[in-house]
Amino acid sequence: MATNNRVVQKKAVGGSPPAASAIGADPPPHSREGTGSTPPPKWGRLGGGEQLPATSPPAGFSMQGSWRLQVVIALVVLLMGLLTLRLLDMQLRTWSEYTPARTGVDTRYTVDDTTPLGVIVDRDGVLLAGDRFTYRITATPKNILPEEWESLAQRLAQVAGIPAEQVWNRLAANPKAEYVVLASDVPFHLGRALIDAKVRDEASADDSTDVSLLPLGNVFVHAQPRRFYPQASLASQVIGFLNAERKPVLGLERYYNSFLPSSGVGLPAGTLSPRTVLTEQQRKFLPSGSEKGLVLTIDRTIQWLVEEELAEGVRFYGAESGSVIVMDPVTGAIWAMANYPSFDANRYETADPATFTNATISAQYEPGSIFKVITVASAVDAGMVESTTIFTDTGTVVIGERTIQNSGRNALGQLAVADALAVSNNVVTVQIAQSLGKEKFYEYVARFGFGADTNIDISGEVPGLVNKPGSVNWSLSDLGTNSFGQGIAVTPIQMVSAVAAIANQGKRMRPYLVEARVHGDSVLFTQPTLAQQVISPATAQEMKEMMVHVIETGNQAARIPGYLAGGKSGTADIATAEGYVLDRTIASFVGFAPADEPRFVMLVKLDKPDPKISRWAANSAGPLFSRISKRLLDHLNVPPDDIRLARNR
């Protein structure tokens, strides 16, 4: 009996239907023909009512104390009987509360997690994700006579807008079922109308009437939250989405899954602020009371214009896909994080799963020549070179067992470091790395954050790949190729964070996407966190000037009308198991503006632009950086340099 009881209890836990609203609560299963359960047995005397045959005591048995033995036996039998009765009662009681697992119903109709989740808003309070409630309508077909199906279907069509044919078909397909879903995602107003109809039926019935015998007595109304993304595809890979079971799949929804549910954890220890510190605009969609919410660093307007320009850039340059990140170098706050193509989180079922990936944090790639900025900055900070240090480009350089050439297969003779960076010279870059030495080079690579997570607050980040001296796959020639971004794998978030350190006096900040977590009347703000002082402020200033020189003399297509900016382009061949694919590339550009006091750092990446248009980043990612930057500076209301700098004189 104990074994059977445990089995039934296990089924009950796994098979119970979702909790219903108070008015539409499911009653214990029953039937007009009876419960269908086997009635309890009629208990007779101990042992099932049979008389024990009389027996003679065995030899040596003492009659003196036999009464004690009889009392003990009687007590044991009585206790066993009571235990048997209790176990049987528990079985019957458990069975009466048990609803069999639902069968024959599409999984889209079996959502049973109705826990509300907190809202997500952008930094200005624009709603990006929230719950809106619909209703799920269920029934107990075994308690509904077949001759009642038609009238019930018509009633539900009239009151709740559920197609009559759909109701009839689902009842007919499951005539003996305890539980079947008649409709899901019924709009809020129609669900309320059905609840009102049930209330009216019950109010008009006689007090002695069994509620289950009313026309809607075996129809139940369940409130269910549905995650809603009012901005559709905007920042969809960043926000993420919930699947049919309301389980977070990716993005912020997944990363903050322990906090966002109303039943989740509260705010962690820290300095809490009152809700009133948020602007009225930010509080607009943040519920009060005990509810929760996230205020992002994302700016909806910046995100929108970035996505618009990125989509146009991918189409114009014939690329397969692309990514853009806009970051505040001083705090590490992410203002925009975009990928194209994207998807509408409200319709994820029909989207291409390949578009779910947030490539800005999880797609590692060889960065190409934008990595030369890291090599030069490291050598300058180590005191090995200056911007004016002269190197000689003979057209080739041998390192390890490899001979390295310039991309143009040319030799430019003597070049200062700043000019070598501007023309993206491979040979001089390798010589700079050699002057730095392998130990120092990889020390700085790690300081800039490559080969490790940035610890940005979003799920799906990968650390990239850096082979170092001592590892099985490393050889001396890797020092040469790594110096110009080949044979090393990074992510866009790593690259933009590294260059942000140059724009921020050598300080690399931890990137973050959530400005504040809200729980009721308390707010916990994310504090900007210094990850590492990578290079000195003096080195950072020298690098900023060199990167301005790059745009002014090398990547001129990346110029921003009215503003000085710094940056560097990179065109990387795509590595495969067979080698590098030379006719398709990854084109990227990383830069900042305004040059004297950077408001933002941006990385633009285009995957496989059409070589018939341009395979080079200077002619694709660079111009895209310029267009986005100009619109961004206008949005931020940053005056052109001639006006702004004149005011500061």
Would you state the pLDDT for residue 234? 98
pTM: 0.78
Angle at 301 between CA 455 and CA 328, to 5 degrees: 35
Query: What are 175's two structure tokens?
Result: 């005539």
Asked whether residue 361 is assigned to any structural domain, the reply reads: yes
Q: Where are the beta strands (DSSP E) in 341-481?
A: 390-393, 396-399, 402-405, 413-416
The proportion of the chain whose per-residue pLDDT surpasses 90, expressed as a percent, equals 68
Compute how many other C-beta atoms are within 10 angstroms of the C-beta atom of residue 553. Answer: 13
| DSSP letter for each residue of 614-642 | ---GGGTHHHHHHHHHHHHHHHTT---HH
Query: What's the pLDDT band for 115 if we cut at 50, 70, 90?
Result: confident
Count how many residues are written for the chain.
649
Query: What are 394's two structure tokens?
Result: 């003979």
- pLDDT tens for residues 437-483? 999 999 999 999 999 999 999 999 999 999 999 999 999 999 999 99
The rounded distance, in Å, linking the Cα atoms of 325 and 238 is 11
Residue 244 near residue 108 (C-beta atoms within 8 A): yes
Number of structural domains found in the chain: 1
One-letter identity of residue 295: V
Asked whether residue 268 is assigned to any structural domain, the reply reads: no
- Asked whether the predicted pLDDT for residue 136 surpasses 60, the reply is yes
Asked whether residue 48 is assigned to any structural domain, the reply reads: no
Asked whether residue 174 is assigned to any structural domain, the reply reads: no
CA distances from 108 to 112, 131, 180, 236, 273 (A): 10, 17, 13, 21, 41
Instruction: Give me the chain's average pLDDT, please.
Output: 84
- Asked whether the predicted pLDDT for residue 581 surpasses 50, the reply is yes
Would you call 474 helix, strand, or coil by DSSP?
coil
One-letter identity of residue 116: P
| DSSP letter for each residue of 194-237 | HHHHHHHHHHHS-TTS-GGGSTTTTEEEEEEEEEE-TTTTTTHH
DSSP alpha helix (H) spans, 448-512: 476-483, 492-503
Asked whether residue 254 is assigned to any structural domain, the reply reads: no
The rounded distance, in Å, linking the Cα atoms of 415 and 399 is 20
Domain range for 355 is 303-648
**What CATH number does the domain containing 411 carry?**
3.40.710.10
**What is the DSSP secondary structure assignment for residue 262, as one 8-state letter?**
T
- pLDDT tens for residues 528-580? 999 999 999 999 999 999 999 999 999 999 999 999 999 999 999 887 777 77
- pLDDT tens for residues 340-398? 999 999 999 999 999 999 999 999 999 999 999 999 999 999 999 999 999 999 999 99
**What is the per-residue burial (b if ≥16 Cβ within 10 Å, else e) of 153-165?**
bebbbebbebebe
Q: Could you write out the three-class secondary structure of 400-423? A: CCEEEECCCCCCCEEEEHHHHHHC
Would you state the pLDDT for residue 78? 64
Asked whether residue 608 is assigned to any structural domain, the reply reads: yes
Question: Crossing angle, helix 438-447 and helix 476-483, to 10 degrees?
Answer: 50
Mean pLDDT of 248-260: 95
- Asked whether the predicted pLDDT for residue 168 surpasses 60, the reply is yes
Asked whether residue 448 is assigned to any structural domain, the reply reads: yes
Query: What's the pLDDT band for 226 if we cut at 50, 70, 90?
Result: confident
The rounded distance, in Å, linking the Cα atoms of 104 and 170 is 9
The rounded distance, in Å, linking the Cα atoms of 521 and 288 is 7
- pLDDT tens for residues 169-201? 999 999 999 999 999 889 989 989 999 998 888
Asked whether residue 45 is assigned to any structural domain, the reply reads: no
- pLDDT tens for residues 287-328? 766 689 999 999 999 999 999 999 999 999 999 999 999 999
CA distances from 78 to 19, 45, 53, 55, 224 (A): 40, 10, 19, 22, 50
- Asked whether the predicted pLDDT for residue 59 surpasses 80, the reply is no
Of 179 and 92, which is predicted with more confidence?
179
Residue 476 near residue 400 (C-beta atoms within 8 A): yes
| DSSP letter for each residue of 13-71 | HHHPPPPPPSTTPPPPP--TT---SPPPP---STTTSPPPPP-PPPTT--STTHHHHHH
In DSSP terms, which residues pair with 363 in a beta bridge?
Answer: none
- Asked whether the predicted pLDDT for residue 229 surpasses 70, the reply is yes
